[in-house]
Amino acid sequence: MEAFLVSLSSIAVAEMGDRTQLLSLVLAARFRRPWPIAAGVLCATLASHVLAGLIGAWFGRQLRPQLLDAAVGLSMIAMSLWTLKPDQLQSESPQGGNASAFAATLVAFFVAEIGDKTQIATLALAAGYPSLLAVVSGSTCGMLAANLPVIFLGHAFAHRLPLRALHYAAAGLFLLLGLVFIVRALQHWS
């Protein structure tokens, strides 16, 4: 349950103001069809986070516990610093104007998620926790928790979010998680 809750909360907070959340806003404004967009976000997130989780779990099995905890701790601290730099969407609208809302969302969201901080956080969490299902479920639910309000409520909701405060909260959460894993690593070496 810890892996699920940590994944859910860290991904949900980290996603606020992230480029994929901004992409959700653009897609919602362009297509005005929230259900296919939500389904596209869900499928793209599952694909991305399952892939990241499998890679993270593989790394988790390859490393000794103290080295694994230290690596996860340092990556969480790096995520903390990365979270302080707000993302910007590079394109105002997705390509392929005739594509359905679902297909456009699936492709655009999957591509935008490659190398994104939420995908890397999922990888690190999957390396640090033994339950891949709990990590992927939590990270996917966290992604949906952050994106569904934007998809369904659009611009009216997105402009009311205190993004700076959310970035600081996400950075603090990643820093705290990093310190927890580093303390665990130090305990292994003791």
Q: Write down the residue that tokens 């994929």 correspond to.
A: 20
Considering its fold, how many domains does the chain have in total?
A: 1
Q: Write down the residue that tokens 């709990």 correspond to.
A: 134
Give pLDDT, residue 94.
44
61 CB contacts (<8 Å, ≥6 apart)?
none
Q: What angle (nearest 5°) sits at the alpha carbon of residue 152, between those of residues 146 and 158?
A: 55
Give pLDDT, residue 126.
96
Q: CA-CA distance, 90 to 131, in Å (whole number)?
A: 35
Take residue 54 and report the two structure tokens written for it: 């499998």
Helix 34-62 × helix 19-31 angle, to 10°: 160
Give pLDDT, residue 97.
41
User: 50 or 95, which is more confident?
Assistant: 50
Give pLDDT, residue 41.
97
Give pLDDT, residue 53.
97
pTM of the model: 0.75
32: left (phi over 0), alpha (psi -120 to 50) or beta: left
**Domain span at 51:** 2-189
85 CB contacts (<8 Å, ≥6 apart)?
none
Give pLDDT, residue 96.
41
Question: Model confidence at 143, in pLDDT bands (50, 70, 90)?
Answer: very high
* 159-171 per-position pLDDT tens digit: 565 667 766 877 7
